Amino acid sequence: MDQETSDIIIPIATGRAAAIAEAIEPALQDIGFDIVQLQYSQGTARRSTVAVFLEKRGGSSVTLDECATASRTISSLLDVEDLISESYMLEVSSPGIDRPLVRRRDFENAIGARVKIHLDEPIDGQARFTGTLAEVGDGNLTLTADGKSVQLDFARIQKAKMVLTDELLKAPQKPQDRKVKQTG
């Protein structure tokens, strides 16, 4: 497992989707992509959907041509590995501006932005938090909302994503162009 993969805080897939991700991830990494999230849904009329959200290794956005390249790679692997017995529709795209946060670098790149975080269990009766990501520490992060700061352990985070705001729409979309502040 390389550093990029071991840096995952929130699983990119669960259940059957996790088996699919495990099968296709090495080939995608070989051609320069990381899986941000993979979703599998058993559809009606015996047609399932596999949705793969990708970024370039290192965190930058993918182009339409790169999505097409990744789609061909994924499709070939799914057919060879025979992981999906029914017919399926494959969707490959960028995670979008309001992207999920799954790796440590995603959280670090989101410092100063509004994020929404769902915990596995409530803290003082609250399991969902929306606020500005203030800091990223070794095993936790600090979120500021309504003038209060709350520290959340990475191990408790079930789901995290950017909140679409006017500021996010105006911000540079390449992580290297954003200011990153780390605490240790």
The rounded mean pLDDT for the chain is 86
What distance in Å separates the CA atoms of residue 181 and residue 183, rounded to the nearest whole number?
7
pLDDT at 86: 84
Considering only residues 28 and 97, tell me which one the structure prediction assigns the higher pLDDT.
28
Q: Is residue 11 predicted with pLDDT exceeding 80?
A: yes
Whole-number Å distance between alpha carbons of 53 and 75: 14
3-state SS class at 46:
helix
Contacts of 180 (CB under 8 A, 6+ apart): 108, 109, 111
pLDDT at position 172 is 64
Share of the chain above pLDDT 70, in %: 89
Question: What's the pLDDT score for residue 6?
Answer: 52
pLDDT exceeds 70 at position 182 = no
How much is the pLDDT for 159?
A: 94
What is the model's pLDDT at position 2?
Answer: 47
Phi, psi angle pair for 54, to nearest 5°: -120, 160
**Is residue 110 within 8 Å of residue 162, measured between CB atoms?**
yes
Between 25 and 184, the higher pLDDT residue: 25
CA distance 8 to 127: 21
**What size, in residues, is the chain?**
184
Q: Which two tokens stand for residue 155?
A: 């191990």
Q: What pLDDT is attached to residue 176?
A: 44
- pLDDT band per the 50, 70, 90 thresholds, residue 166: confident
User: What CA–CA distance (Å, rounded) separates 69 from 164?
Assistant: 28
Helix pair 64-81, 16-30: axis angle to 10 deg: 120
Q: Which domains does the chain have, with CATH numbers?
A: 3-93 (3.30.300.70), 104-177 (2.30.30.180)
Question: What are the pLDDT digits (tens) for 47-87?
Answer: 889 999 999 987 788 999 999 999 999 999 998 888 888 88
- The 3-state DSSP composition of the chain as helix, strand, coil percent (nearest 5) reads 30, 35, 30
Global confidence as pTM: 0.80
pLDDT band at 142 (very low <50, low <70, confident <90, very high): very high
